[in-house]
Amino acid sequence: MAGAGGSGKLETAAGACLRQLAESAAVRRCFQWIASRRRWIDERHLELCRIPAPTFEEQERAEWMLARFVELGWKAELDKAGNVVAALSFKRHQYIAVTAHLDTVLAPRSPDEITVDGDGAFRGPGVADNGAGLAALLALAGAVGELDGSDWDCPLLLVANVGEEGEGNLSGMRHLCRPSGLGARIGAFLILDGPSTDRITCRAVASRRFEILIQGPGGHSWSDSGAANPVHALSRAIALFLDRQGNGARREPATADERTAFNFGVIEGGTSVNSIPALARAKLDLRSESPGRVEEMASLLSACLEKALEAENHRSGGARLSARIREIGYRPAGRLPLDAPLLGCLRAVDAWLGIRSQLDSASTDANIPLSLGMQAVSIGAGGEGGGAHTPAEWYHPRGREIGLKRILLAAALLWKTEGTALAVGGS
């Protein structure tokens, strides 16, 4: 058993239970299936990544995932949000959800853009984020699907969800967590996002996304010289915001618990080099571990835009510019208590497998269940990867197996030690 040398650290009830699970016939069969299907998992991983799935356009990949779940003996359906939801039975009163998002920031322009190099590394948009997570769902479905009901009363709900990236605003996870649907029957979430096994995201970073739109009359760069220019005003607003953020905009120094970040990710405007633009647009992201800091930055953004607009209108003296800020996304904050059963089980499994993981914070699908007081973590699915959200993204399946064992053991341990509490909403 991988990592069994770490068992000296597990002199707890959870540790003893974990040993029994790891030695059980059901878990051994799952591990054997995973080890014997390495090539099959790699092939499914590449196949799914060759299906473009940019945010809001996940349907083809969703239908492909649904067909694979059915082939593996699971009952599967598309919900009203477009999520693929799979279970061995939909009649359970309580589930542990294992999820991975379908969408990618970038999408391959053709299947040939997803390649495998001589070292066995996959290259192309989405191969790590979140090809790794989706391939893990299929591997879990295959391994657990080989068991009969007497081996393990399987509580897993496998979900390939939409809307995690960009302006998707976590729409798939929001729908899944609705108390009127499956949300009321989910006791905990293991959210698979990317490959790395060295982190456990249990703190949800708050974020707000905005679109700034500035409009004016436009004109010819020579004959209408001096007219108010939306691009100039937008540039001034961004510069003012950056200056204020860099010159003590915080009322007090941020602590290690209040990391803050912002990003102007899209800037658009103008039609030609010799035309004064009639419109300028920017999209930006504000995020912090402190929700209050996000609100402070949002207020600062509005003030900077107002000041920039006033300056540009005063400079031109002619037809005036108008501006508006529109919120295009909101991700709530949340935090998993350090004594939560889910976290305790995952840390026990990490010790058993010899995984050195650290708790961290990020903005992921876990934001939604954590903000609702539900047990959730976001973890990697195993393997190695990098370059997420860029054309140079890569993934190597080296180390994938330990990530899959981690997920399966954590879910099994949580159910065995906390199943009754989960079933009555005791988390």
pLDDT digits (tens, 9 = 90+) for 60-88: 999 999 999 999 999 999 999 999 999 99
Give the CATH number of the domain where residue 390 resides. Answer: 3.40.630.10
One domain, residues 25 and 130: yes
175 and 149 fall within a common domain: yes
pLDDT band, very low/low/confident/very high, at 250 (cuts 50, 70, 90):
very low
Euclidean distance between CA atoms 307 and 311, whole angstroms: 6
- Same domain, yes or no, for 231 and 280? yes
Structural domain count of the chain:
2
Question: Are 128 and 385 in contact, with CB atoms under 8 Å apart?
Answer: yes
Residues 391 and 406 in one domain: yes
Mean pLDDT to the nearest integer, 138-160: 86
Residue 406 DSSP symbol: H
pLDDT at res. 150: 55
Among 298, 331, 364, identify where a domain stops: 331
Identify whether residues 41 and 170 lie together within a single domain: yes
pLDDT recorded at residue 135: 98
> Is there a single domain that holds both residue 266 and residue 343?
no
DSSP 285: E
pLDDT value at 256 more than 60? no
Q: Same structural domain for residues 189 and 223?
A: no
* 290 and 176 co-located in one domain: no
User: Considering only CA atoms, which of 34, 161, 181, 44 is closest in space to residue 98?
Assistant: 161
Query: Do 236 and 114 belong to one domain?
Result: no
Q: Indicate whether 275 and 358 sit together in one domain.
A: no
Same domain, 293 and 371: no
Phi-psi region of 354 (alpha: psi -120 to 50; beta: other; left: phi over 0): left
Q: Which of 276, 307, 331 is the last residue of a domain?
A: 331
Q: Are residues 344 and 257 in the same domain?
A: no
Which pair of structure tokens corresponds to residue 265?
């990710």
The band of 421, judged by pLDDT with boundaries at 50, 70 and 90, is low
Q: Which domain holds residue 286?
A: 207-331
Q: Report pLDDT digits (tens) over 349-407.
A: 999 999 999 999 999 999 999 999 999 999 999 999 999 999 999 999 999 999 999 99
pLDDT score of 258: 75
CATH number at residue 261: 3.30.70.360
Percent with pLDDT over 70 in the chain: 91
- Which residues lie closer than 8 Å to 284 by C-beta, 6 or more apart? 209, 210, 212, 262, 263, 264, 265, 301
pLDDT in tens, 102-127: 999 999 999 999 999 999 999 999 99
pLDDT over threshold 60, residue 11? no
Select from 331, 350, 372 the last residue of a domain. 331
157, two tokens: 């709900």
Q: Is the pLDDT of residue 425 over 90?
A: no
> pLDDT-based confidence at 422, cuts 50/70/90?
confident
